[in-house]
Amino acid sequence: MSCHAVRPLLPARAEELTPSEALMRAEHVAGCARCATEAAAYSRLGQALAVMAHLEAEPAEGTLERILVAIGRRRTRVTDPRVLAAAGSAGALVATVVVARALRQRRHSRHALATPWSRRLRVPGLPLPTAALARAK
């Protein structure tokens, strides 16, 4: 395997290579001082780049305050899906109860209309009106 063929593999991180590419690179680097130096330089570069993630820049003065004001305006719209789900369930329950009561009331009023007034007004222990008695006979 020539240096030329291995050169494109030198900057790659281990997980970016196929197993055969990784083996090829390792075997070549083990026997080639120049490519070993190159590989070491890329490795050092990779480590330093990863360290960059921990370095922080200071934003311009007022940036934090601007963000806090902006999110304060928007904050009322924070919506946790768990809260939304709970609110939805509660709403559905209320709606079910309201619909059920309305249906019951409607059924009750239909039943009331279908029943003669005399029976609706019947009180246990009181005689039925004469007209109702005549119809019954």
Partner 1 sequence: MEVDRELVEAAQAGDRWALEELVRRTHRSVYTCALRLVGNPDDAADVTQDVYLRVVRKLGGFRHEASFATWLNRVTTNVAMSTLKRRTRRFTVEGAAVPADTRDPAPEPAERAEAVALARRLERLVAELPEGQRQVLVLRDVYGQSTEEVANAMGLTPGAVKVRLFRARERLKAELEAAEGGQVVALSGRRRATGRRS
Residues that bind partner 1 (CB under 8 A): 2-4, 8, 11-12, 16, 31-35, 37-38, 41-42, 44-60, 63-64, 66-68, 70-71, 74-75, 77-84
Closest distance of CB 94 from partner 1, Å: 22
- Distance, in Å, from the CA atom of 116 to the CA atom of 124, rounded to the nearest integer, reads 16
- Identity of the residue, 45 or 103, whose beta carbon is nearer to partner 1 in the bound complex: 45
**Nearest 5°: phi and psi at 116?**
-60, 150
Closest distance of CB 93 from partner 1, Å: 22
**Nearest 5°: phi and psi at 91?**
-65, -45
- Identity of the residue, 3 or 133, whose beta carbon is nearer to partner 1 in the bound complex: 3
Structure tokens at 47: 């480590």
Closest distance of CB 121 from partner 1, Å: 57
Closest distance of CB 36 from partner 1, Å: 11
58 to 34, 50, 54, 55, 132: CA distances (angstroms):
40, 19, 13, 10, 95
